[in-house]
Amino acid sequence: MTRDEAFARVLREARVSRGLTQRVLAERAALTDNYLSLLEQAKRSISISTLFVLCDALGMKASLLIQGAENLADE
């Protein structure tokens, strides 16, 4: 699994575990739900500023998402 694919999976799991739809998370982060969908499919790479915005909307630290993606990619 690539790092982008691992990040996409961890992002989706974080969203789902909080009971959020893509649309709701996208609205909270002032993003389009299409863009969020592309991130969760590993079809787009995330910028650092978008990472922080999404993590704020998820109520979590960016380091947790990154660490989760690193752990998954290393498996």
User: Which domains are seen in the chain, by residue range?
Assistant: 3-70 (1.10.260.40)
Instruction: Please enumerate in sequence order all residues whose Cβ is within 8 A of that of 59, keeping only pairs 6 or more positions apart, or say none.
Output: 18
Tens of pLDDT along 1-54?
A: 899 999 999 999 999 999 999 999 999 999 999 999 999 999 999 999 999 999
Q: What is the pLDDT at residue 75?
A: 74
Report d(CA 30, CA 54) in Å as an integer. Answer: 9
Give the global pTM. Answer: 0.92
Closest CA to 29 of 4, 10, 12, 50: 50
Distance from the Cα of residue 60 to its chain's centroid? 11
